[in-house]
Amino acid sequence: MYGEPSWIHEPPLANSNVNLEEVPITTIDAENDQREFRRTSTSISNKVLGFFNIISSITIIVAVAVIASDITFTSQNWNLKMSVKEISLNFYSIIFCVMIFCAELDWKQFLHFFGFLDSWTAKGLFYVFVAVLTREATLDGNILCQITNFAMLGVGVLYFLMGIACLKTVKETRQRRMNTSHTNTSDLVA
């Protein structure tokens, strides 16, 4: 054809110095590279999702600890004529911690009614609010109350910062990628 060099259509010379066994097969190498990338990507996704699961687990533990410390504080001080304000603050603190517990479990029906807990920035602000509320309710509480208040405050600040950094989209992207890789693998096995 016009414009193509003539050596394209000529067969290779028999006495050429090229050893065909040493020539890499690019499609096999590309497939191996792709598999290695998927394996590495899956490993990174597992670590990222593990990090988010650890944070969620810590938040659940902190919420349960706040509930326990509020119930303990209220039961210990019930005979001391607690004011209506203190009782109602402890009650709301417990209710809000149950909300935190449900939000961390990603209970879709619950998040439908309390949609602000689906945003990590709003979730962080809510957790900070619960920490301040609990601190006010148990102002003269024991060391357990103070520790759980600061732990809830720390979790709230962490969620707020993760929301600002848009890490929820990273988590959801990794989850989708893991789900699609699992479905692709199960399709190959079946």
CATH of the domain at 138: 1.20.1270
**What are the structure tokens assigned to 13, written together?**
């010379």
Cα distances from 172 to residues 30, 103, 104, 179, in angstroms, run: 28, 16, 14, 10
Q: Residue 150 contacts by C-beta under 8 Å, 6 or more apart in sequence?
A: 131
- Residues 128, 108: contact at Cβ < 8 Å? no
Q: How far apart are the first and last CA of the chain?
A: 49
For the segment 67-80, what is each residue's pLDDT rounded down to a tens digit? 999 898 888 877 77
Report the pLDDT value the prediction gives residue 114, as an integer from 0 to 100. Answer: 92
Query: What value does the mean pLDDT take over residues 38-43?
Result: 63
pTM above 0.75, yes or no: no
The number of distinct structural domains making up the chain is 1
At position 9, the amino acid (one-letter code) is: H
Specify if 24 maps to a domain. no
Q: Give the mean pLDDT of the chain.
A: 81
Length of the chain: 190
**What are the structure tokens assigned to 120, written together?**
């990590």
pLDDT of 11 higher than 80: no
Specify if 19 maps to a domain. no
Specify if 60 maps to a domain. yes
Specify if 143 maps to a domain. yes
For the segment 143-154, what is each residue's pLDDT rounded down to a tens digit? 888 999 999 999
Helices (H), 78-166: 84-104, 108-113, 120-137, 143-164
The 8-class DSSP code of residue 119 comes to S
The residue among 63 and 47 whose pLDDT is bigger is 63
Report the pLDDT value the prediction gives residue 140, as an integer from 0 to 100. Answer: 75
Nearest to 163 by CA among 116, 122, 127, 120: 120
Domain holding 120, by residue range, is 56-173
